[in-house]
Amino acid sequence: MNQPDSSPSNFVRDIILNDLQTNKYQGRVHTRFPPEPNGYLHIGHAKSICLNFGLAAEFGGKTNLRFDDTNPEKEEQEYVDSIIDNVRWLGFQWQEPIHYASDYFGQLYEWALKMIRENKAFVCDLTADEVRQYRGTLTEGGKESPYRNRTVEENLDLFERMKNGEFPDGSRTLRAKIDMASKNLNMRDPVMYRILNAEHHRTGNKWCIYPMYDYAHGQSDSIEGITHSICTLEFEDHRPLYDWYVEQLGIYHPQQIEFDRLNLTYTMLSKRKLLQLVKDGHVRGWDDPRMPTLSGIRRRGYTPEALRNFCKAIGVSKTNGTIELGLLEHHVRDDLNKRAPRLMAVLRPLRVVIDNYPEGESELMEAVNNPEDASAGTRKVPFSRVLYIEQDDFKEDPPKQFFRLSPGKEVRLRWGYFITCTSVVKDEKGEIVEIHCTYDPATRGGNAPDGRKVKATIHWVSAAHAIDGEVRLYETLFNCESPNDLADLNPRSLEVLTECKLEPALGSSEAQFRCQFERLGYFCADNDTAPGKPVFNRIVGLRDAWAKIEKKTK
């Protein structure tokens, strides 16, 4: 058994601990993560993955990866592949082999026959609309189907003919015979099988009847010997039905435990809605860095460690709530702060000419790679007569509290010299195109021997040595805390800057390389990066409002 986790316990973990003490499953802990391959995984799934794999790992157990692929119309191999890739990226290893609900289609069919033979299931000719009408409501009981009392022989015959493809889609269903008066709508003779002449991504055209998710899910857990079927709260009302099926079939009975779904501010977590964003072209694809999909946030530059820490921090509970996006970003910064090398990049360049620096010369300044990590060492950054600084860092007529560069003012160039602005050059439209400065050679490395102070330190890149690059800045995809639909999309969620100047070391960045651009945030080389043509995504800015809130409330 692994070392017990030092993180605080939670009610799911407590149940498992108790089951281990009472030897309920002979010491076994076997969980599973059961996605439907109808879209890419999102950060909500990360919570479920961390919980299932984390608990099993803690107690020396196993976790299956199972695709609940019972709906051929919405499922695709592309989704299967992306899910496998994402789970691995998050850092988890499932128990081989990968499972599929479709592997159990034969067994599920046999079990359906058994239920028909025991008069616990019947073939129903009501249309989908009629089934809905007969079902009743939360306050009103349902009505029994007129086909409910067919004989076992007739049911066996019709079900076999359903399977043989004799009937059109939607014309008949197989339904469980439970109780149309039940308070729980899921127990009102739920549909077990539907006719669907659709090609399945794994079973091809072998089947034209498909089990409903509710008929397949509990039995799949049972077949795999799952001990703790951990799922989200909306399945609480389905538990009596899952229990009913495994009890009627007399098969091994896993224990279902429900926990709260993750909701995040400014974020939509529903594969159906995310698919719409992709299909309608509101984003560049499932892996657009603004998407809350694991592929998206991975491309953006979030680390698996940060996601796991976030999931640990939010824990699990029995009531749904909403987590602040700021908390997720806090964990991303927290992780990158320790590991990301610091480099310099200028996103909106302003040309600076240092008049008293010799023309045609340059020198190498020593820069610390990561003040949080001495082992990251130092690097050399070229300095010369013409530099770029951030347009924002200069103001011709500065307001009172503006301490960066302005005419007559002196500032420090990070790892460089003190410079003082002497004049401004404008074009015919009156726009500033270049500023002129002088430098003080005695301040090399950033300190004045006479002890004089400057109020600001700004970053820069030597013009002659700069690498051209593209930088993509992101805001939240939605502009309100609880977005409902596309009307809440943030039109400013993406800003592309194509004239950025990067320090030379960034020229050889490979996709997924993460670093801090000093003063600007954490950045990650995008997959669009090509040799000599870096493209960076801003992962997250530097300011951590969440850290401040945490401090205040402590």
Residues identified as active-site: 36, 261, 271
Is 437 within 8 Å of 388 (Cβ atoms)?
Answer: no
Binding mask 224-243 for ligand ATP (x = CB under 6 A): -------xx-----------
Closest to 159 (Cα-Cα) out of 170, 169, 174: 174
* Piece of 219-227, 269-277, 397-405, 544-552 that binds ligand ATP (CB under 6 A): 269-277
Q: At what angle do helices 325-339 and 304-314 cross, to 10 degrees?
A: 140
Helix axes 105-117, 152-163, angle to 10 degrees: 160
44 binds, among Mg ion, ligand ATP, none (CB under 5 to 8 A by kind): ligand ATP
Mutual orientation of helices 43-58 and 11-21 as an angle, nearest 10°?
20
Question: Which listed range, 36-44, 242-250, 256-264, 357-365, lies at the site for Mg ion (CB under 5 A)?
Answer: 36-44
Nearer to Mg ion, 294 or 467 (CB): 294
* Residue closest to Mg ion (Cβ): 36
* DSSP state letters, 378-415: EEEEEEESEEEEEGGGB-SS--TT--SB-BT-EEEETT
Name which of 44 and 72 has its Cβ closer to ligand ATP.
44
Shortest distance in whole angstroms from residue 400 CB to ligand ATP: 48
Q: Shortest distance, CB of residue 271 to Mg ion, whole angstroms?
A: 7
Q: How many helices (H) and strands (E) does the chain have?
A: 13, 25
Could you tell which of Mg ion, ligand ATP, none binds residue 262, using a CB distance below 5 to 8 A set by kind? ligand ATP
- Report the distance separating Cα 182 and Cα 189, nearest Å: 9
Site for ligand ATP in 31-50 (CB under 6 A): 34-36, 44-45, 47-48
In which element (H, E) is residue 21 found? Answer: helix 11-21
Span of 12-20, 30-38, 320-328, 490-498 interacting with Mg ion by CB under 5 A: 30-38
- According to CB under 6 A, which one of 77, 270, 378, 391 is a site residue for ligand ATP? 270
Nearer residue to ligand ATP within complex by CB, 279 or 453: 279
Q: Which residue is nearest to ligand ATP (CB)?
A: 44
45 binds, among Mg ion, ligand ATP, none (CB under 5 to 8 A by kind): ligand ATP
Chain-centroid distance of CA 14 in Å reads: 27
Place of tokens 């609900």: 101
Q: Could you tell me the sign of the dihedral formed by the alpha carbons of 460, 466, 297, 39, in that order?
A: positive
What would you report as the CA-atom Rg of the chain, rounded to the nearest whole angstrom?
31
Q: Which helix (H) or strand (E) holds 516?
A: strand 514-517
Q: Least CB distance from residue 36 to Mg ion, whole Å? A: 5
The piece of 30-38, 87-95, 331-339, 348-356 that touches ligand ATP (CB under 6 A) is 30-38
Which residue stretch of 4-12, 268-276, 347-355, 471-479 sits at the interface with ligand ATP (rule: CB under 6 A)? 268-276
Distance CA 124, CA 191 (A): 9
Least distance CB 49 / ligand ATP (angstroms): 8
* Min dist. Cβ of residue 284 to Mg ion (A): 24
Residue 428 Cα distances to 186, 391, 425, angstroms: 74, 19, 10
The span from the CA of 290 to the CA of 494, in Å, is 8
Q: Which stretch binds Mg ion (CB under 5 A): 32-40, 97-105, 218-226, 244-252?
A: 32-40
Torsion angle, alpha carbons of 85, 87, 88, 89, to 10: 80
Q: How far is the CB of 37 from ligand ATP (least distance, A)?
A: 8
Dist. CA 242–CA 83, nearest whole Å: 25
Question: Among residues 36 and 214, whose Cβ is nearest to Mg ion?
Answer: 36
**CB closer to Mg ion out of 44 and 304:** 44
Residues 6 or more apart whose Cβ sits within 8 Å of residue 241: 178, 184, 186, 187, 190, 214, 218
Please count the residues of this chain forming the interface with Mg ion, following the rule CB under 5 A: 1
Position 482 contacts ligand ATP (CB under 6 A): no
156, 196, 198, 269: which one binds ligand ATP (CB under 6 A): 269
Binding residues with ligand ATP: total (CB under 6 A) = 14
Alpha helix ranges (H) inside 322-466: 325-339
> Which of residues 20 and 101 has its CB atom nearest to Mg ion in the complex?
101
Q: How far is the CB of 528 from Mg ion (least distance, A)?
A: 32
Sequence-ordered strand ranges (E) for 46-125 = 62-67, 99-100, 121-124
Q: Which of the choices Mg ion, ligand ATP, none does residue 412 contact, using the CB cut-off of 5 to 8 A by kind? A: none
Which of 143, 202, 261, 465 is close enough to bind ligand ATP by CB under 6 A?
A: 261
Q: Toward Mg ion, which CB reaches closer, 36 or 103?
A: 36
For residue 446 the two structure tokens come to: 């950033």
Which positions lie near Mg ion, rule CB under 5 A?
A: 36
- Residues interacting with ligand ATP, by CB under 6 A? 34-36, 44-45, 47-48, 231-232, 261-262, 269-271
